[in-house]
Amino acid sequence: MNVLLVYPEFSDTFWSFKYALRFIRKRAFSPPLGLLTVAAMLPESWGKRLIDVNVSKLTDRDLAWADILFLSGMAIQRDSAREIIARAKSAGLKIVAGGPMFTTERDSFPEVDHLVLNEAELTLPPFLEDLEAGAAKRVYATTEFADIQESAMPAWELVDMRRYASMIIQFSRGCPFNCEFCSVTELFGHGTRLKSVEQVVAELDGLYALGWRGPIFSGDDNLIGSKTYLKEELLPALIEWQQGKRGIRFGTEVSINLADDPELMELMVRAGFNTVFIGIETPDEQSLTECGKNLNTNRDLVADIKRIQHAGIQVQGGFIVGFDSDTPSIFQRQIDFIQQSGIVTAMVGLLQAIPGTKLFERLGREGRLQSEPATGDNADGVTNIVSKMDLETLQAGYRRIMHTIYSPRVHYERIRIFLREFKFREQATRLDLQHILAFFRSIYHLGLKSRGRLQYWRLLFWTAFRRPRAFPMAVTLALYGYHFRRSFG
């Protein structure tokens, strides 16, 4: 059996970093961890080939080689997934699909032969058993959650690492919180399930043995869901693993209560974490209460963010507009908050109702869901909700936020605000030839061709004299701004 594992293309959006990655000659941010884990669970005797459409084309030759096609993806990859399904059907291939989009939208893909849903550790083995017996069903699903200490090590050997800016692993699954709009707890539960330290070290050793020396993103739903485990086991093990290694830095997702724990922040920095993504959502207390983001209420969120930055961790933030409680004043308030906080990489999106979430269920009961499904794109200015605010006002306000916060003047000033707070504690950063060339490419595109060239040069000279150790970071953040401006027009 030859199996083709295919990952659909991401549209040109916030998290693709498509235009920024071109400066370092990379095609995508990270490889598909889910498919790589599935590949490791398949019979050893099967031929396996991974095609990530974000970095390479799916050819007719690939389809002719395969006996069966495995497909995974998220809602934002829907259009690309449909194209792949059509091509696979034309080639006479059986299609097996799983992952978040197919789990929440199973009825939208009648062409798929077998749906292996929820967590593959539980649903893939019975499918493979039935497939071998010639009695495979169409749907394999479960309401249980897997013991991820039994998860297979991802099949890294299928990846061309040269195409990616970062590798991706996972330390835990699940989130203890209950945000109305979020699908994480519906898919992975409220309990935090943890990999063993031995698993994590083995995965890192595997990546290191294959020659990876760049950043690693940990795709946890909330890394700090179990602080005791982090402090007493995982982070000490990562600190030990880092000994003698240079250039390995981690990013992950956490909640704002990281700011309450100086000891935890110190351990994370020593372990190599230099970036976290936090769902801030909104500075409006009423909207936070409305969506169940109670952890973020009754706080000085700007002070919390600066505390994390001062510890040596860059904060990337998620923001939402379009809550029922929002009034037209929210647009300027979001702009002001993002600027004051120094969150350079701010993902702002219109509220969308994802199938399976409490928000989707509530708005369905209220008759406030549009016929078009959620795009899954946090930053395309589209919503599937009949909003309380006039839609034209909402979308115009959203565009105003994006065009303001990523205008060269505002964006470069926000980089300086961030660098003033950030406590630069990294060891010497490993810069390869592509990163050095990226700097000179940035001079051409941002320093010579761009309308914001004066602000670009001002940032470089300010950083060189005021924060010289952060110079590579300043250039990287400037390139992110270039990507966001290109993405949002």
295 token code pair: 């952890």
Contacts for 189 with CB less than 8 Å, ≥ 6 apart: 145, 173, 174
Instruction: Indicate the fold that domain 2-140 takes in CATH.
Output: Rossmann fold (3.40.50)
What's phi and psi for 320, nearest 5 deg? -135, 140
Contacts for 59 with CB less than 8 Å, ≥ 6 apart: none
DSSP letters spanning 197-254? HHHHHHHHHHHHHTT--S-EEE--S-GGG-HHHIIIIIHHHHHHHTTT--S--EEEEE
Residue range 190-230, pLDDT digits in tens: 889 999 999 999 999 999 999 999 999 999 999 999 999 99
Residue range 395-428, pLDDT digits in tens: 999 999 999 999 999 999 999 999 999 998 765 4
Measured CA distances, 478 to 224, 348, 406, 443, 475 (Å): 29, 18, 10, 11, 5
Please give the DSSP secondary-structure letter assigned to residue 28. B
Is the pLDDT score of 371 beyond 80? yes
Segment 2-7 shows an average pLDDT of: 98
pLDDT of residue 429: 54
Which range (114-118, 178-182, 425-429, 462-466) has the least confidence? 425-429
How many C-beta atoms lie closer than 10 Å to residue 292's C-beta? 15
154 token code pair: 């991802």
11 token code pair: 């549209």
pLDDT of residue 428: 46
Strand pairing of 193-194 and 172-173?
antiparallel
The pLDDT > 70 percentage for the chain reads 98
Q: Which CATH number fits domain 166-405: 2.40.30.30, 3.40.50.2300, 3.60.20.10, 3.20.20.70?
A: 3.20.20.70
pLDDT of residue 435: 85
Residue range 296-336, pLDDT digits in tens: 999 999 999 999 999 999 999 999 999 999 999 999 999 99
Strand pairing of 47-52 and 273-281?
unpaired
d(CA 444, CA 422): 28
How many Cα atoms occupy the beta-carbon half-sphere of 143 within 13 Å?
A: 1
For the chain, which residues make up each domain, given as ranges? Answer: 2-140, 166-405, 433-488
Residue range 241-297, pLDDT digits in tens: 999 887 689 999 999 999 999 999 999 999 999 999 999 999 999 999 999 999 999
Contacts for 228 with CB less than 8 Å, ≥ 6 apart: none
372 token code pair: 């078009």
Which residues face 140 on adjacent strands? 116
Say if CB 5 and CB 35 are below 8 A apart.
yes
Q: Which amino acid is at 149?
A: Q
Segment 347-374 shows an average pLDDT of: 95
What's phi and psi for 270, nearest 5 deg? -65, -30
pLDDT of residue 379: 77
Which of 290, 477, 323 lies closest to 394 in space, CA to CA?
323
Crossing angle (nearest 10°) for helices 408-421 and 391-405:
60
Q: Tell me which long-range contacts 433-442 makes (C-beta under 8 A, separation of at least 24).
A: 434/24, 434/25, 434/26, 435/24, 435/472, 437/24, 438/23, 438/24, 438/475, 438/479, 439/472, 439/475, 441/23, 442/23, 442/475, 442/478, 442/479, 442/482
Segment 170-192 shows an average pLDDT of: 92
Is the pLDDT score of 75 beyond 70? yes
SS (H, E, C) 148-213: HHHCCCCCHHHCCHHHECCEEECCEECCCCCCCCCCHHHHHCCCCEECCHHHHHHHHHHHHHCCCC
Residue range 19-37, pLDDT digits in tens: 899 999 999 999 999 999 9
With cut-offs at 50, 70 and 90, classify the pLDDT of residue 58. Answer: very high
Q: Tell me which long-range contacts 473-479 makes (C-beta under 8 A, separation of at least 24).
A: 473/314, 473/419, 473/424, 474/415, 474/419, 475/438, 475/439, 475/442, 476/20, 477/344, 477/345, 477/415, 477/418, 478/412, 478/415, 478/442, 478/446, 479/20, 479/23, 479/438, 479/442, 479/446
Q: Is the dihedral of CA 130, 77, 74, 219 positive or negative?
A: positive
Crossing angle (nearest 10°) for helices 433-442 and 471-488:
60
307 token code pair: 């505390």
Say if CB 404 and CB 447 are below 8 A apart.
no
Which of 326, 221, 232, 203 lies closest to 276 in space, CA to CA?
221
Q: Which amino acid is at 231?
A: K
173 token code pair: 């699954």
d(CA 83, CA 351): 27
The pLDDT mean for the chain works out to: 95
Q: Is the dihedral of CA 347, 353, 354, 357 positive or negative?
A: positive
With cut-offs at 50, 70 and 90, classify the pLDDT of residue 433. Answer: confident
